Every structure is written in structure tokens, then in C-alpha cells.
């Protein structure tokens, strides 16, 4: 009885603790065995089946990849003068992998505006963008040295905030070259989305050559792999892939000529204007000035953001490239090209004469000449030289007894010289210009086309519009006897350890007989020797040209034009000048061209 009671109570004779039943021993043995099997299986899984994978993961926890920005390509003018350089800088990015949890991000929103030139809203937006895109986001570009040091002191308390190396552009000639070179600024979210090769710390071209050749200038980033400790401090360099610099651009631009022209416009206190100088033998652009302009450094260097904001808000439209994007009524500069069409269509011959008596009357309408009493007996060369309106009314629109070109043939010949379409220059935002037609007027203005519209077209008024670049290109076609070249600014692209890539010259013939163009050339030469361009007659370099004064619709203001080429026999340069609201072409634009030609003769041809 006692044995039974003892057994039932779970005690063992001679033992000090409670006895364990065979069933419980078996349960404990089974559990222990199962745990051991699980541990062995997990170890086999980690070390054998996925050992290499987890070793890489562990390695990644202590190795970091530091981007090395690729140097952006440099630009040089036609004489090898360096126009831009890269400056080492530092940006601040938000790395989504290191950002605190959303409930703890207030520390960044509160602390960063005290350290950096950012607002709380900008920090909040950058955090949201980094989280949503799972990509680092640039918060601040081009930190100054003192701010960078202050940030590094507190970096341990700012999770996800990283200073990284970057580059900014510095333009040596400021606003003098902005119309050609353009500017760079930090990459945008849209650009990052469209171009996978870009990084949040990159800069991209926004205007000018910086924009047109952005992919070639950009280069290929490098990377440095570093071993870091738990606090993120670099212990040693593991590996390094060197960056590959972007292509250098060799330009046709003559920066000294560019600067001289800009200074001429500045000293003349002109409200606004543009000058284009190019080689009629190839289309190579020697100068392309839009005045007034902006300093590209203000946009490329974030420290100058106040200057950039001022440039954007300036009422003079500093960022508007008047040379390639501005369209203006061409005034009498249109006349040589209409004369070429009339000669080619046998509307006139070099010997055809009309009497200029001061104007032309059609019904109750009178279309005046600029000279009271007229110019007398006039042939085509005199009509160009003295800018005789009556002559061009007749060869374009005709009258009751004579047939002119008519609007369709007139605009067709203007198009042959490159009017009404982009020239194809390697600078963005080029305007088309505009050639009106009866169909356009009927559709847009809901009016029929009158003979007066044709007469207005004949003297470069009404709805016809051209850019200064288009006029320079068409003048070059007269200078070279009929080839319309596509203008270009970049002569060659040069990559490290590669042969330069030369840009090919592109041009097409106008189909206008060379003899007819020779007659037009003679008329433009007489403009300088005996006509409205006589202010250039004493130059050592013999030039030919055409003045223009175009009325601004709805005002009493006029644009001043002068387009020219020289030397007359073997032309090597075209110079086209526009002064907005400047007055008469012969009194304002022609003297500017004269000074440009004088500089060219003294400094480039030795004439």
C-alpha cells in the first residue's frame, strides 16, 4: 500500500526531487531531437545552400560604393581659348536606405533648415520623393566650405543625410558667351526618369550648347568601393573604377570677336539686339550675340541663385536668345532675295528699268517710296543700293500693266534662301520665322489677300518674319553664289583616347543661276559704295551689304537692320546686325557693322 502511494505521488526511493515518468522523458527527448534537427537544417541552409549569397550580403553591410563624378567636357573657341571649367564641389543628398522611420523624420525637417539653405517644406518634399522613388535625392547643390564642415559635425544625428562629391561649371566670359554656351544646373526629377544613366548629383545642360550636346559632354561616372565600420567611417579602399570624361567641344566661335561685338552693343546703350557673324564658305559661326544676356554662372553655381532669380525676372528678357529665337519683320533686307527670284523667273533682267516717282497708286490706295519724289530711272542694282520701294512693289506684285512674281513665287524663292524654316544650327529653341500666304490669312485672320499684302511683303513688312540667323544664312548664300549652308558652332568632338569626330558641313544649292546672284551681289556692293550703306565705304576690307528699317506694328518704333559680307571678291565673313527699336538701319545698324568689319580687318585678316 505504501509502495503504491509512493509511486502515485511520483517520488523515487532514495531521491530528493519529484520523479519523472517515462512518458515525460520520452516527450523531452523528442522535443530536443526536433530542435537539434531544425538547427542543423538551418545551418545547412545558410552555410551550404545559400552560403555565397549571405556572404555577399554580409560584405555589403560593410562595403559602400562612393560615386566619382565624371568630368564634364570642356569647350574651346576656334583659337583654342578655354571657355569653361569644372569646379569640385559637394552636394547633400537624402539616401532612402538610411532615412529614419516616418514617425521619426521630424528631426530632419526641424534640424536641416538650421544647417542648410533649405526650408522645412523642401526637406519634407525631398524625403517623400526619396521614399517614393527609392532613389537618392539631391537636397542642396554646391555647399560652401563652412556649411559642409557644420553638416559633417552633426552627421551622426542626421540619418540618411549624405554629403557627396560633385562638379559645377564656371564660364570664363560670363554673359558674353551665354547665348552660345548656355548653362547647366542640377538634374531634374524628369531628367532622372527619362535618362537612367544620370544620378541625383548630376548637372545637365539647360540651354545652348550645354543642352544640345549634353549627352556627349556628360561622360561616364566612376565608383570607389570602401570598407566602412559600423559608424560609417572609411577603413580602407577596396576597389576603384575611374570615371571617363565627357567629350570636349572644339567650337567655330571666335570668343574675342564675340566679346568685341557684345561690348559694342553695351557701349552704344542699345535697348536690345542681336549680331550673327559666320563663314559663308561653310556655315561656321564666328559670333552669335544676343543682347542683353545673362551670366551662365548665375545658373550653374547655386551660390549665385539670387542673380539667377533676378535674371529670370528681368523685364529685358535676358534668357531670350534674340539671334536664333527672335523673329522680326526684316524690312528692306528682304529685297536682294526677292530680286534674285525676279531675275531667275525673268520678271526682269539686269537692264530692266522702272521709273520711281515717289510711290505707286492702285485705285484709291497709295504705296509710297521712302524718298519724296522718288529715285528716277531705276534698275535692279540701283533698287538694291538705294532701297527703292517702288521697284520692288512692281517686281513682286506687279500692277495693271506689268506682272510680278506674285506671293506664291516670292515666298518660294525666299524659302530657297532658308526663310520660313529653322536653319538647323546646333543651338536649341530656334524659331521658324514666317512666310505668309493667302491661305494662312484666310484661315487665321478670316480675310482675303490683297495686292497691298504683296506690296508689304516686297519691302519686308506685313506678316513676314525672320530671325537674325536666317538673314545671315541667306546673306551667306548670296556671298558664296548660291549655296545655303546649315550653320554650326561645334567643329569637332574629342573624347579621351579617341580620335576627334569632325562635324560635317551641310549645304544645298538654291537653283538660282549664278549670273543672277552675281547681279544681286553687285547691287549689295553698290549699297556700300553709293547707297544707304556708305558708312562702310572707307573700310580697308571691301564689303557688300543691305540696310533695313522695319516698322513695328502698332507703334512708331522701327527695328534697325544691316546685313553684309566681305571681302567682296572672295568672301570669308558675313555680319548681320539687328538693333531692336533702334531707328534707321543706315544710321544705327550699319555703323555697328562697320566697327565689326574694322575689328575683323585689324585682328583677323590683316587688311
Pick from 164-168, 225-229, 264-268: least confident: 225-229
pLDDT tens by residue, 505-543: 899 998 999 999 999 999 999 999 999 999 999 999 999
Q: Which residue did the predictor score with more confidence, 78 or 496?
A: 78
On whether residue 315 sits in a domain, the answer given is yes
* Spatial separation of the C-alpha atoms in residues 15 and 153, rounded to whole Å: 67
Q: Confidence class of residue 69 from pLDDT cuts 50, 70 and 90?
A: confident
Q: Confidence class of residue 230 from pLDDT cuts 50, 70 and 90?
A: low
Q: Which residue did the predictor score with more confidence, 542 or 27?
A: 542
Task: Identify whether the C-beta of residue 480 lies closer than 8 Å to the C-beta of residue 459.
Answer: no
Q: Which residue did the predictor score with more confidence, 41 or 266?
A: 266
Dihedral, 555, 560, 563, 566 alpha carbons, nearest 10: 170
Q: Confidence class of residue 15 from pLDDT cuts 50, 70 and 90?
A: very low
On whether residue 472 sits in a domain, the answer given is yes
Q: Confidence class of residue 233 from pLDDT cuts 50, 70 and 90?
A: low
How confident is the model at residue 231, as a pLDDT? 52
* Spatial separation of the C-alpha atoms in residues 107 and 284, rounded to whole Å: 57
Give me the helices (H) in 270-334, please.
297-300, 305-313, 322-325
The per-residue b/e assignment along 70-101, b for 16 or more CB within 10 angstroms, e otherwise, is bbbbbbbbbeeeebbebeebbbbbbbbeebee
- Count of CA atoms in the C-beta half-sphere (13 A) of 253: 32
Pick from 257-261, 264-268, 371-375, 589-593: least confident: 371-375
Q: Mapping DSSP to helix (H, G, I), strand (E, B) and coil, where does residue 554 land? A: coil
How confident is the model at residue 606, as a pLDDT? 57
On whether residue 94 sits in a domain, the answer given is no
Q: Confidence class of residue 9 from pLDDT cuts 50, 70 and 90?
A: very low
Average pLDDT (59-76) is: 79
Q: Which residue has the cell 527527448?
A: 29
Q: Mapping DSSP to helix (H, G, I), strand (E, B) and coil, where does residue 125 land? A: helix
Domain around 389: 263-605
Percent of the chain with pLDDT over 70: 88
Q: What is the tally of structural domains in the chain?
A: 1
Pick from 182-191, 327-336, 389-398: least confident: 182-191
How confident is the model at residue 204, as a pLDDT? 96
Asked if residue 54 has pLDDT above 50, the reply is no
Farthest CA pair distance, the chain:
156
Give me the helices (H) in 246-317, please.
255-267, 297-300, 305-313
Other residues' Cβ atoms within 10 Å of the Cβ of residue 147? 16
Task: Identify whether the C-beta of residue 347 lies closer than 8 Å to the C-beta of residue 597.
Answer: no
Q: Mapping DSSP to helix (H, G, I), strand (E, B) and coil, where does residue 400 land? A: coil
Average pLDDT (569-594) is: 97
On whether residue 226 sits in a domain, the answer given is no
* Spatial separation of the C-alpha atoms in residues 6 and 574, rounded to whole Å: 124
On whether residue 291 sits in a domain, the answer given is yes
Q: Which residue has the cell 539671334?
A: 323
Pick from 41-50, 174-183, 209-218, 352-361: least confident: 41-50
Q: Confidence class of residue 57 from pLDDT cuts 50, 70 and 90?
A: very low
Task: Identify whether the C-beta of residue 206 lies closer than 8 Å to the C-beta of residue 185.
Answer: yes
Average pLDDT (551-556) is: 85
Pick from 9-13, 94-98, 539-543: least confident: 9-13
Q: Mapping DSSP to helix (H, G, I), strand (E, B) and coil, where does residue 540 land? A: coil
* Spatial separation of the C-alpha atoms in residues 575 and 239, rounded to whole Å: 55
pLDDT tens by residue, 292-341: 999 999 999 877 888 989 999 999 999 999 999 999 999 999 999 999 99
Pick from 57-66, 99-108, 214-223: least confident: 57-66
- Which of 90, 64, 461 is CA-nearest to residue 239? 64
Burial of 55 (0-12, 13-18, 19+ CB in 10 A): exposed
On whether residue 116 sits in a domain, the answer given is no
Asked if residue 56 has pLDDT above 50, the reply is no
CA–CA–CA angle 101, 105, 111 (5° rounding):
150
How confident is the model at residue 17, as a pLDDT? 47
How confident is the model at residue 102, as a pLDDT? 83
Pick from 126-135, 337-346, 352-361: least confident: 126-135
How confident is the model at residue 24, as a pLDDT? 64
Average pLDDT (45-70) is: 59
On whether residue 525 sits in a domain, the answer given is yes
Contacts of 440 (CB under 8 A, 6+ apart): none
How confident is the model at residue 133, as a pLDDT? 83
The grid coordinates of residue 529 equal 559704295
On whether residue 66 sits in a domain, the answer given is no
Classify 296 in phi/psi space as left (phi over 0), alpha (psi -120 to 50) or beta. Answer: alpha
- Report the chain's mean pLDDT, rounded to a whole number: 89
Contacts of 132 (CB under 8 A, 6+ apart): none
Q: Mapping DSSP to helix (H, G, I), strand (E, B) and coil, where does residue 73 land? A: coil
How confident is the model at residue 1, as a pLDDT? 44
* Spatial separation of the C-alpha atoms in residues 556 and 553, rounded to whole Å: 8
* CATH number of the CATH domain containing 570: 3.40.710.10
Give me the helices (H) in 314-450, please.
322-325, 335-344, 380-386, 389-397, 406-416, 438-440
Task: Identify whether the C-beta of residue 542 lies closer than 8 Å to the C-beta of residue 522.
Answer: no
Asked if residue 345 has pLDDT above 50, the reply is yes
Q: Confidence class of residue 582 from pLDDT cuts 50, 70 and 90?
A: very high
Q: Confidence class of residue 37 from pLDDT cuts 50, 70 and 90?
A: low
Q: Mapping DSSP to helix (H, G, I), strand (E, B) and coil, where does residue 342 land? A: helix
How confident is the model at residue 26, as a pLDDT? 66
CA distances from 61 to 58, 191, 229, 349 (A): 5, 30, 9, 86
How confident is the model at residue 155, as a pLDDT? 83
Amino acid at each position: 500500500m505504501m509502495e503504491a502511494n509512493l509511486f502515485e505521488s511520483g517520488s523515487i526511493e532514495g531521491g530528493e526531487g519529484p520523479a519523472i515518468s517515462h512518458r515525460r522523458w520520452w516527450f523531452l527527448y523528442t522535443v530536443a531531437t526536433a530542435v537539434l534537427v531544425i538547427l542543423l537544417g538551418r545551418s545547412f541552409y545558410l552555410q551550404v545552400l545559400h552560403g555565397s549569397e549571405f556572404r555577399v550580403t554580409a560584405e555589403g553591410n560593410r562595403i559602400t560604393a562612393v560615386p566619382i563624378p565624371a568630368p564634364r567636357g570642356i569647350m574651346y573657341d576656334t583659337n583654342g581659348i578655354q571657355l569653361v571649367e569644372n569646379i569640385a564641389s559637394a552636394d547633400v543628398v537624402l539616401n532612402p536606405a538610411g532615412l529614419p522611420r516616418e514617425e521619426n523624420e521630424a528631426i530632419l525637417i526641424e534640424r536641416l533648415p538650421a544647417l542648410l539653405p533649405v526650408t522645412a517644406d523642401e526637406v519634407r518634399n525631398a524625403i517623400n520623393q526619396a521614399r517614393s522613388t527609392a532613389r537618392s535625392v539631391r537636397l542642396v547643390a554646391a555647399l560652401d566650405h563652412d556649411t559642409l564642415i557644420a553638416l559633417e559635425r552633426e552627421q551622426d544625428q542626421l540619418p540618411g543625410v549624405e554629403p557627396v562629391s560633385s562638379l559645377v561649371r564656371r564660364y570664363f566670359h560670363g554673359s558674353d558667351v551665354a547665348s552660345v554656351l548656355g548653362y547647366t544646373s542640377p538634374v531634374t526629377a524628369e531628367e532622372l526618369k527619362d535618362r537612367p544613366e544620370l544620378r541625383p548629383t548630376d548637372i545637365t545642360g539647360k540651354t545652348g550648347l550645354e543642352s544640345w550636346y549634353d549627352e556627349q559632354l556628360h561622360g561616364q561616372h566612376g565608383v570607389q568601393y570602401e570598407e566602412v565600420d559600423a559608424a560609417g567611417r572609411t577603413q580602407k579602399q577596396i576597389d576603384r573604377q575611374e570615371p571617363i570624361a565627357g567629350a570636349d567641344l572644339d567650337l567655330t566661335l571666335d570668343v574675342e570677336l564675340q566679346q568685341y561685338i557684345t561690348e559694342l552693343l553695351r557701349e552704344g546703350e542699345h535697348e536690345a539686339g542681336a549680331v550673327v557673324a559666320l563663314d559663308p564658305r561653310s556655315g561656321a559661326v564666328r559670333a552669335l550675340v544676343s543682347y542683353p544676356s545673362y551670366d551662365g554662372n548665375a545658373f550653374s553655381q547655386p551660390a549665385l541663385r539670387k542673380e539667377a532669380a533676378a535674371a529670370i525676372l528681368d523685364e529685358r528678357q535676358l534668357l531670350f536668345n534674340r539671334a536664333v529665337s527672335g523673329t522680326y519683320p526684316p524690312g528692306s533686307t528682304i529685297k536682294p532675295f526677292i530680286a534674285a527670284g525676279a531675275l531667275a523667273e525673268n520678271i526682269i533682267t539686269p537692264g530692266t528699268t522702272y521709273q520711281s516717282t515717289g510711290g505707286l497708286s492702285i485705285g484709291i490706295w497709295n504705296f509710297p517710296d521712302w524718298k519724296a519724289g522718288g529715285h528716277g530711272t531705276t534698275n535692279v542694282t540701283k533698287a538694291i543700293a538705294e532701297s527703292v520701294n517702288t521697284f520692288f512693289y512692281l517686281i513682286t506684285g506687279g500692277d495693271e500693266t506689268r506682272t510680278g512674281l506674285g506671293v506664291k513665287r516670292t515666298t518660294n524663292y525666299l524659302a530657297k534662301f532658308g526663310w520660313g524654316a529653322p536653319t538647323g544650327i546646333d543651338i536649341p529653341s530656334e524659331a521658324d520665322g514666317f512666310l505668309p500666304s493667302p491661305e494662312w490669312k484666310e484661315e487665321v485672320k478670316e480675310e482675303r489677300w490683297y495686292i497691298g499684302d504683296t506690296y508689304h511683303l516686297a519691302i519686308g513688312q506685313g506678316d513676314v518674319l525672320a530671325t537674325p540667323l536666317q538673314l545671315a544664312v541667306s546673306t551667306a548664300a548670296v556671298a558664296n553664289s548660291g549655296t545655303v549652308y546649315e550653320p554650326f558652332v561645334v567643329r569637332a568632338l574629342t573624347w579621351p583616347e579617341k580620335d576627334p569626330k569632325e562635324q560635317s558641313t551641310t549645304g544645298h544649292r538654291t537653283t538660282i543661276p549664278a549670273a543672277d546672284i552675281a547681279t544681286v551681289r553687285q547691287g549689295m556692293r553698290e549699297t556700300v559704295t553709293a547707297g544707304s550703306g556708305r558708312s562702310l565705304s572707307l573700310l580697308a576690307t571691301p564689303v557688300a551689304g543691305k540696310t533695313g528699317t522695319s516698322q513695328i506694328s502698332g507703334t512708331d518704333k522701327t527695328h534697325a537692320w544691316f546685313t553684309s559680307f566681305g571681302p567682296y571678291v572672295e568672301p570669308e565673313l558675313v555680319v548681320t546686325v539687328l538693333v531692336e527699336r533702334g531707328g534707321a538701319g543706315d544710321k544705327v545698324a550699319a555703323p555697328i557693322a562697320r566697327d565689326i568689319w574694322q575689328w575683323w580687318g585689324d585682328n583677323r585678316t590683316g587688311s
